[in-house]
A = this chain, B = another copy of it.
Amino acid sequence: MPVTNGKVLFNSVPEGYPEPGKTTVYDDSEQIDLESVPIPDGGFLVKTLYLSVDPYMRGRMREPTKKSYSPPFTLGEPLTGHGVGVVLKSKSSEFKEGAHVYGFFRHQNYIVYPNRAGLIVLDNKQKLPWSYYVGAAGMPGKTAYMAWKEYSSSKKGETVFVSGGAGAVGSFVIQLAKIDGCKVIASAGSDEKVEFMKSIGADVTFNYKTSNTLDVLNEHGPIDIYWDNVGGPTLEAALEAANTNARFIECGMISGYNTGGAPIKNIIHVVSKSISMFGFIVSRLEHKYDEQFYKEVPELIAAGKLKVLEDVFEGLASVGDAILAVQKGTNKGKAVVRVADQ
C-alpha cells in the first residue's frame, strides 16, 4: 500500500533570509510502496528519522555558477544534508535491515540508496537519542572537535573567544577549550543563550546585542584563539583584541550570509600580529579524526561530560522554519528536524 513520500524542494535562490514556502517548499505529491519498491543489489531502503539543519546550508542556496566547497542545491530538487535513518529493507550485506545509518540524506521520508553512498552504520552502544548523531555526535560535533584538534594549538592558560557560543558547534568548542585548561570568553545573541554558555563552563559570557564586543575582549583578552562562527564586526573586534601569534579558526561568518557579505576593515592585523587564519572543510579532516571522534564523543556525552542542547522541529514540513531559525539565530540549541521517531 503506497504511503506519502514527502520531500523538501529547493524552490528559489533567496536574496536575504530564506523564506519558508518560497525558498524551500514541502511537497507531498510523491508516493512510495514500501513493500514493492525496487531495491538494486547492494542497495537498501532507508526511512529518515532526523535531519540536521545547519548554518552552512545558506551557502548552498545560491546560483550554481558561484564556487564554494559545498555544492549548490539544485532548483526543483530536494535539499540534502546530514541525517540519521533506519534501514527498512536491504540487499546489502553491510547495511542490514534495522540498522541505523548516518550520512548525507535527501530531505525526504524514504530514500532508496543504490550503494553505501558514504553512509556509516551507527552502533550507539551508549543508547544516546538518535538525533544526537546529527548534532554533537555528528557533523557539527566533528566540526568542533576535529578543527579544534587540528588548528587550535591550544595551550593551558590561553584565552579563547568563541562567537556563536550557544550553537551546536560553539557550545562544543567552549567545552573542548575548558577541557584543555583555557580561559573562555563566549558571546551569543540572547540572555537565555548567555545562561546556557555559563552553564557549560564559559568563564566570561556576554550578549553581543547589549554589550560592546571589543570592550569585553579588551577587558578579558588578549585572545590567543578565536573560534569564529559569525564574521563581520565580531571578527574585526577579535582582530583588534588578538594576541601576537593568535590562531583564528574560521568556521563560519553567519553575520554576512543573508546580507551580502561581512566586510572587515582591519585584516592588516593578520600581518602585524602574525595571525594564522584557518578556513576548513570538516569532511577533509574526517579520515584523520573519525575513529577517535566516535570512540570519545558519544562516551563524553553519555557520561555527562559534554553537555548538549537541542531544538527539535517537528516533521519534514518544518525544515523551512528550522532553516530560517538557524539563520536568524532564534533556535535554542542544535536545530534538528524530527521526521520520524523510529
- Interface positions of A (Cβ within 8 A of B): 59, 67-70, 231, 235, 244-245, 250-253, 256, 261-281, 284
Residues of chain B lying within 8 A (CB to CB) of residue A272: 59, 68-70, 279
A263 touches B261 (CB 8 A): no
Residues of chain B lying within 8 A (CB to CB) of residue A266: 261, 263
A265 touches B268 (CB 8 A): no
A284 touches B277 (CB 8 A): no
Q: How far is the CA of A261 from the CA of B261 in the complex (A)?
A: 19
> Which single member of B276, B280, B284 contacts A279 (CB below 8 Å)?
B276
How far, in Å, is A157 (CB) from chain B's closest CB? 20
B277 touches A277 (CB 8 A): yes
6 examples of A-B residue contacts, CB within 8 angstroms = A69-B274, A245-B284, A253-B268, A270-B279, A274-B280, A277-B277
Q: How far is the CA of A266 from the CA of B270 in the complex (A)?
A: 15
> Which single member of B244, B253, B265, B273 contacts A271 (CB below 8 Å)?
B253
Q: How far is the CA of A277 from the CA of B278 in the complex (A)?
A: 6
B273 touches A253 (CB 8 A): no
How far, in Å, is A48 (CB) from chain B's closest CB? 27
Residues of chain B lying within 8 A (CB to CB) of residue A280: 274
A252 touches B265 (CB 8 A): no
Residues of chain B lying within 8 A (CB to CB) of residue A261: 265-266, 268
How far, in Å, is A163 (CB) from chain B's closest CB? 13
Closest 5 pairs between A and B when the two form their complex, measured CB to CB: A277-B277, A270-B279, A68-B272, A263-B265, A274-B281
Q: How far is the CA of A202 from the CA of B316 in the complex (A)?
A: 55
Residues of chain B lying within 8 A (CB to CB) of residue A256: 268
Q: Are A276 and B274 CB-contacts (below 8 A) given A263-B264, A268-B261, A268-B262?
A: no
B231 touches A253 (CB 8 A): no
Q: How far is the CA of A280 from the CA of B270 in the complex (A)?
A: 8
Other A-B pairs, 9, CB within 8 Å; known A256-B268, A264-B267, A275-B279:
A68-B273, A70-B272, A253-B271, A261-B265, A261-B268, A263-B263, A263-B264, A263-B267, A264-B264
Residues of chain B lying within 8 A (CB to CB) of residue A270: 250, 277, 279
Residues of chain B lying within 8 A (CB to CB) of residue A231: 267-268, 271
How far, in Å, is A319 (CB) from chain B's closest CB? 22
Residues of chain B lying within 8 A (CB to CB) of residue A69: 244, 272-274
Residues of chain B lying within 8 A (CB to CB) of residue A253: 267-268, 271
In chain B, what residue has the closest Cβ to A256? B268
In chain B, what residue has the closest Cβ to A280? B274
> Which single member of B59, B250, B265, B274 contacts A284 (CB below 8 Å)?
B274
In chain B, what residue has the closest Cβ to A248? B277
Residues of chain B lying within 8 A (CB to CB) of residue A59: 272
In chain B, what residue has the closest Cβ to A222? B67
In chain B, what residue has the closest Cβ to A262? B268
Q: How far is the CA of A231 from the CA of B266 in the complex (A)?
A: 11
In chain B, what residue has the closest Cβ to A260? B265
Residues of chain B lying within 8 A (CB to CB) of residue A263: 263-267
In chain B, what residue has the closest Cβ to A269? B279
